[in-house]
Every structure is written in C-alpha cells, then in structure tokens.
Structure 1
Amino acid sequence: MTDPAQLPRHLRRIGRVFVDESMLDSPLARRVRDRLAGTTHADIPWIAVPEGQDRVECAGRDEQALYLKEYKGRFLRFCPGTRAYHCCGYRIIHIGENCPMACSYCILQAYFQDRVLKVWANQDALFRELAEGFGADRTSRFRVGTGEFTDSLALERLTGYSRDLVGFLADYDNVVLELKSKVVDLSWMDAATRTDRVLPAWSLNAPAINQGQEFDVSTLEERLTAARTCAEAGFRVCLHFDPIIHFPGWREGYAEIIDRIFDYVRPEQIAYMSLGSFRCMPQLTPIIADNFPDAAYIYNEFVPGLDGKARLLRPLRLEQFSFMVERLRRHGMDEQLYFCMESTEVWNEVFGFAPQDFGGLNRRLMDRAFGN
C-alpha cells in the first residue's frame, strides 16, 4: 500500500512553491498547502511573487518548482494544428504549463526549457470564460481537454484541478471533457454526475518505449487497469498511440500492447483511439539528444513535413500504421480509430477513406465523443 505521506513519484522533485501575491489566498493555493501538509513535502518553502515579476527559478539541478500563477490570457483555445494535415478539432482548456514527468520524445521540452510547473490559480476567471463560451449557445457542442500544454492528471494529487472542471462542466450538456494522462489519479470520478460527459484517456506505447523512454510515469498495466476501472463505472475511455516510435522490434512491441488492451476493456468501451507517428520541430532533436543520449530513434530516416516538423519517412509510417490498424481491426476496432495530423493520402492508403468522406475528422470525433 502506498504511504499517504509520500507524494507520487512524479511529484517528489518539487522543492518549492511560488505563488503570485494576488493568489496567496485563492482556493487553489489553500488547497495545495493543505494537501502538502502531512506529506514528506510539508516543509518546502513557499515564496510570494510580487506583481510584475513572473520569472522564478529552481534551486537545484534536479529540483522542480510549482508556480501557482494568476493567468491573464485566454483559457479556451483551439488545438495548434495545421491545415496541411487533418486535425481533430480538439479545443483546449488551458490550465497550466509544463510536466513533472520526463518522456524523451515530449515536445514540451522545446516549449518550456525550465523545471517550473505552472498552474493557473485564478480559477474564477477560468470558469467565467468557460461559462460565457459554453453557455452562449447550448446547441453548439464542444469536445475539450486539458492535456495539450501539460498532463491532465499529473498534478491532480495537489491541485484537484480536473475534479473542479468535472464538477463545473456537469451543468453543460453540450461539453465533453477528455482527461489525458500518463499517470493514474481517479480522484475526479466522484465529481462526475454523468459518465457520458467525461472521457478518461491514457497514452500508450510499446513496452520497450514505456520502460526506456518514459520516466516517472505510471506503468502500462497501471494505465490499463485504470481504464478498466473507468469503463466498469460506465465511462467510455480514450487511448492514444502518439508518438509511435520506429525502433528495432517495434512490430512485436506494438503487437503486445495492442493485444493487452483487450484484456482490460472491450472495443465498445473505447470512444476513440488516435495513432500518430513521431514528429518534431527541428529544435527538439538536439534537446532530446542532450537530455536523453540513449534515444536512438531520433536518428531514423526523417523528412521535412508540410508543417515544418521532421516526420518519419512516409513508407516507414505507412508500414507501422498498416500493421497497427490491421491488428486493432482484428480486435473489433474500426470507427474508433483516427490519425493525428496525417495527410489525405495516408488516410486513403491505410484506411481506404479520408476524413472528408464522412464530413470531416472533427465531426466524426464529436459524434464519437457524444455517443452518436
């Protein structure tokens, strides 16, 4: 049994908490302080950040800092996709930035080159904006999530942010919230009054990638067990293979994890599943090489994509996609599957159809999310 005084392993490097002066008495700051009390991190320093100063720094090389910040930008955003490829049309609820885990392939390394975990503490402003956006026209549907610039559940043990969102969105029948993570925290579940409006989601990968390129994360078994718990409670789950990595033994590795999925959940319990090949901005490659010297997959055959990102050579992508789709179809998966940021040509070659054949990828996933 886990020691309740011990934080989850992905949070144990937090060595200090910064709080904007304006947020010192916010409900979120009080909650984080209360939840740290009684843990092995109860005595870490709390530092008030004066108005006008937003640059904070960690003390040691391996330390991380938590920064409870008053955010003054837009909370509801569009997915930063590109018209060059088919985008899923996901809307982002922006709750913070950076991640306490360490996955070698993670694009956040290029966005946030520090160890500061930012959380927007002015939740009152967030909820006002969401109420205006979602309440203006109750016939407009929204498929939203928080797992774009941070992990949806990584800080849940301290912040309870996802639980707050689940409770707030209970009043909006036109919104489905996806909680996408590489860790397991199901403390939000008792705030959900409707199981059809929350989509718990986990990223998956081949066992060799999980063990060798993902650090301070939950195991594949832990994620799949959590997916089964949610499915048995009536939630439909989402699973994501992104990024799919090309490495020696990839066929055996992806076959193993695909087959394991269906020991835990049935196809009809999965709302949708994405497949996306590893792709990265040019500046990310040297960061990966420096931070993760054993990440040999960055030396595969890549070409510049239409979005400026390096993408695995198309025949290699097609080989992996075709293998995985065929394996998933053997287990009864079909309409749940989609590609993240791929071309019409790749869709046609692997699936035999393209998003425009069914009214667009956004429409297809919106229907899947709402159970239509």
Structure 2
Amino acid sequence: MTKRLPRHLRKIGHVFVDETMQDSPMANRVREKLSGTTQADIPWTVVPSEQDRVEFDEGDTQALYLKEYKGKFLRFCPGTRAYHCCGYRIIHIGENCPMACSYCILQAYFQDRVLKIWANQNDLFTELGNSFGADRKTRYRVGTGEFTDSLALEHLTGYSHNLIEFLEQYDNVVLELKSKVVDLTWMDATSRTDRILPAWSLNAPFINEHEEFDVSSLKERLEAARTCAEAGFKVCLHFDPVIHYPGWKEGYGAIIDMIFDYVKPENIAYMSIGSFRCMPQLNPIIADNFPDTTYIYNEFVPGLDGKARLLRPLRVEQFTFMVDRLRKHGMDKQLYFCMESTEVWNEVFGYAPMDFGGLGKRLMAQAFGE
C-alpha cells in the first residue's frame, strides 16, 4: 500500500541536489524515504557545484534542496547586547521550514519555497569534532532550531538521528531539538537521556488554530513531551512569540494549565517566554501571506535592536500574568525571558540575570542537570 508522508511534508514536489551530493548518504536516505510514498515520482534535478541557489516557483509546491554547505556550521545565537540573550550556540543544519506560521521570522530571511538541508554531514561532524573535542572541559549548549525547525524534515533526512549518534562521544555537549511537530525517531540514537533536550514551542489555542498551519496540535506536542519525560529526558518548552489578542488571558491561562496535565515542573529543564517582535520588513510580508492576521496592527514601538515590540506596559502585563500562573504550578528558576531588558526582568521576576551570574550561565547549568 502506498504511504503518505506526514502532513507537513506533503507539499514537497521537487528535489534538487548538488552534483557533489547526489550519491551522499543524505541523498540516498531521502530517495529511500520517498520511495513507496505518494511522492515517490517527484522530479530530481542535479545542480552544478558552482551554482549557489535554485529558482523554484510552482504554486503551492515546495522543493527540497540537498546542498553542499561551505560555511560555518557552529555559530553564536544572533542576539543583541541591548537585551539579555540566552547564549546558546547554533548548529546550522539547513534553512527554511515546511510549516506556515504567520509570525515566523524566517519569512523575512527566506522568501522562497525551497527547504535547504546541508547534505555534507561529514564536513559538519569534522567541524563539530574540532570544536567540541579541543577542550573537553568547555561546555556547550547547542540547538538546531534557529534557521529551520529541528525535526520538521527528520522523517526524510534523519539529520537529528545522525547528529545525536555523533554527539554520544561528547560529554560536554547538550543538544536541544526545538520543533512544532512530533517525530521521536531520534530517541533510538541515544543512550544519554542527560544530553538531549527535546523541546516544543507552545502558544495559546487560538493562536495555534488561526496562526500556525501544518503543525502538530498542542495536545500532540505535550503528549510527545510526556513520552520523553517518561523515558528520562528533561524537556524544554517555549512561549515565543506571546501574542496580544482579544481573549489572550483565557488562552494563555488554558495552555499553561494544560502543560501540567502532561508533565511535572521537575520534568522541565527550562521554559522561555518572549513577546512577538519583528523587523520592519516582516509586517508587510505577514500582511501579504496571512491577510486575516490582525495582531500586527497592535501598539508597537521600535526596540533597541531595531525590531518592533509591543508597548512595554502591555508586554509586562502579559508576562506577569503568565509568570504568576506558571509559579502557581511550581515553576520558577526554569523560567526566562527571550531578549528582554533588565528593567522588564526586574518588574516581572523581581530580579535580573546579573543577580544570578548571567542567563547563559544559569541555562547551561540547568541544561546539564545541575
């Protein structure tokens, strides 16, 4: 019987592959995964090695591009000194996302329908080995969910599975897998439940229903978090972006209460909260791609990083409501703000990162279970 790919991958209608990568393990794996599915016969196009990008515009269809990447795989988070950054490091495995969330900043970076995956994994592992192995006393908290979703293409690529197998030899590295879909096949690759942090983004049910498309439901994400917790993993949860809309208190209150029907506070390594913010060029893109979206017309001001932010009193009101609700469930030190000022930290939490030695230091300790 012909299989169907997961819902969020069914728009893939073309595969491009660098000529240097057409016989790579990654390309062979994708071919194998597509065979026997309703998308088994989609065209493959070999791209000359000197060509840097592909042009693709076939309506609502997406393309997968298995590319030889020649840049740096290990990067610093692109934060700003104007606000407190969590300080994690990015393992760059690809670009763009098959899902469609109205608020996604990737729309401003990648204005095409090409899902890029770096197929030269041996180069990735060489670079990571040189970095992580140079000094085993230096600890790293890393993640792959910055320029793409960590698990969205896992069904086809097995990228996280391979990466986890590679990282088994490095006690000084904790890997966070941040996603809006459920794919737990990576669990077979590790014996170290203390070095992998499965993570899911959450939002209010209204936002999940009206602003997130082709994603797993909130219930499915929390069920996956429970499965991981029961297997011995600490999980991470992220409320980013928190959106101001009519009925937000009821919505965010409901999802916060729902979390603890599935996991306990001690199962959670940390949880971020961040208000919707965007570069000036993102708003017209959102308006064009999602004409029914209205939250972009809220009261925003330019932030110190050049991004538009919800007025501080409105942000603080939302943050205070959510933090108070989470504290009633037993959460406290696991909570942090993504890219907020010292003043907002003090106003909501009653302390700021410098009071406990810095946000990066705290999260590193929590990631390593200290």
Q: Normalised by the size of structure 2, how large is the TM-score?
A: 0.99
Hey, what's the Cα distance between the residues in 1 that align with 2:16 and 2:163?
23
- Aligned counterpart in structure 1 of residue 276 of structure 2, from 278, 295, 298: 278
For 1:159, the equivalent position in structure 2 comes to: 157
Hey, what's the Cα distance between the residues in 2 that align with 1:256 and 1:57?
43
Conservation of the 8 A alpha-carbon contact between 1:57 and 1:65: no
Hey, what's the Cα distance between the residues in 1 that align with 2:38 and 2:54?
23
Deviations 1:70-125 (A, max 9, x none): 00000000000000000000100000000000000000000000000000000000
Hey, what's the Cα distance between the residues in 2 that align with 1:161 and 1:55?
21
Q: How does 1:179-328 map to 2 (within 5 A)?
A: 179-328=177-326
Deviations 1:229-271 (A, max 9, x none): 0000000000000000000000000000000000000000000
Hey, what's the Cα distance between the residues in 2 that align with 1:246 and 1:13?
31
For 2:119, the equivalent position in structure 1 comes to: 121
Hey, what's the Cα distance between the residues in 1 that align with 2:228 and 2:159?
18
Residue type at the aligned position of 1:61: G
Conservation of the 8 A alpha-carbon contact between 2:57 and 2:113: no
Deviations 1:277-311 (A, max 9, x none): 00000000000000001110000000000000000
Hey, what's the Cα distance between the residues in 2 that align with 1:350 and 1:192?
38
Conservation of the 8 A alpha-carbon contact between 1:207 and 1:257: yes
Kindly state the Cα deviation for residue 61 of structure 1 after the two structures are TM-superposed: 1.2
For 2:30, the equivalent position in structure 1 comes to: 32
For 2:349, the equivalent position in structure 1 comes to: 351
Q: How does 1:353-372 map to 2 (within 5 A)?
A: 353-372=351-370
Conservation of the 8 A alpha-carbon contact between 1:142 and 1:174: yes
Hey, what's the Cα distance between the residues in 2 that align with 1:202 and 1:4?
30
Deviations 1:23-72 (A, max 9, x none): 01111000000111111111100100012113213341101000000000
Conservation of the 8 A alpha-carbon contact between 2:2 and 2:38: no
Dislocated runs of 4+, deviation >4 Å = none
Residue segments in structure 2 that go unaligned for 5+ positions in a row: none
Hey, what's the Cα distance between the residues in 1 that align with 2:185 and 2:267?
20
Residue type at the aligned position of 1:170: E
Residue segments in structure 1 that go unaligned for 5+ positions in a row: none
Give SS of 2:20's match. helix
Hey, what's the Cα distance between the residues in 2 that align with 1:53 and 1:176?
35
Q: How does 1:134-173 map to 2 (within 5 A)?
A: 134-173=132-171
Mark the CA change 1:4 to 1:141 in structure 2 (over 3 Å): closer, same or farther. Answer: farther
Deviations 1:156-180 (A, max 9, x none): 0000000011111010000000000
Kindly state the Cα deviation for residue 184 of structure 1 after the two structures are TM-superposed: 0.2
Hey, what's the Cα distance between the residues in 2 that align with 1:243 and 1:55?
30
For 2:70, the equivalent position in structure 1 comes to: 72
Hey, what's the Cα distance between the residues in 2 that align with 1:208 and 1:344?
30
Hey, what's the Cα distance between the residues in 1 that align with 2:49 and 2:63?
19
